């Protein structure tokens, strides 16, 4: 069964909140950015999961603005939302903070919108980010 995931694209002023990820795989380090989000729990809507995961991962309070679409791949189905930033300071939390180590590193990053084309965002995140910014 595929894992169902909900992710939130967050803009604070002219920056987007992303998780910088460095992880070791087969003796190589992969460097990329990911949109905050995670698995939908039993009895939870996609929207509720998005809001909860953003709060857990990057310590921000958000509301849903609009649904941006879905991405399906071999292990999961990812739903993307543009979210409204309500408050909070973007700092690492949740499982990402607990699992953080040199071979599986997470870091909250605020990337200037003009610099987004120069970084690698995992999956279709880059396309959804552009759609959210329209």
Integer Cα distance of 79 and 119 in angstroms? 21
Under 8 Å between Cβ of 68 and 80? yes
Instruction: Say which DSSP state 51 is in.
Output: H
> Half-sphere exposure of 12 toward its Cβ, with a 13 Å CA cutoff?
15
Dihedral sign (CA 119, 121, 123, 125): negative
Q: Note down pLDDT in tens along the chain; length 134 residues.
A: 899 999 999 999 999 999 999 999 999 999 999 999 999 999 999 999 999 999 999 999 999 999 999 999 888 999 999 999 999 999 999 999 999 999 999 999 999 988 988 888 877 655 666 666 66
Instruction: Kindly list the structural domains of the chain, giving each domain's residue range(s) and its CATH number in brackets, ordered by start.
Output: 3-128 (3.90.79.10)
């Amino acid at each position: 069964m595929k894992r169902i995931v909900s992710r939130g694209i967050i803009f604070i002023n002219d920056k987007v909140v992303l998780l910088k990820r460095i992880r070791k795989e087969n003796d190589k380090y992969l460097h990329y950015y990911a949109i905050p989000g995670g698995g939908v729990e039993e009895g939870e809507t996609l929207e509720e999961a998005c809001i909860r995961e953003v709060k857990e991962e990057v310590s921000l309070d958000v509301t849903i603005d609009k649904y941006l679409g879905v991405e399906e791949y071999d292990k999961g189905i990812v739903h993307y939302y543009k979210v409204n930033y309500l408050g909070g300071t973007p700092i690492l939390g949740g499982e990402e903070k607990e699992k953080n180590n040199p071979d599986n590193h997470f870091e909250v990053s605020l990337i200037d919108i003009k610099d987004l084309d120069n970084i690698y965002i995992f999956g279709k995140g880059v396309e959804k980010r552009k759609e959210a910014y329209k």
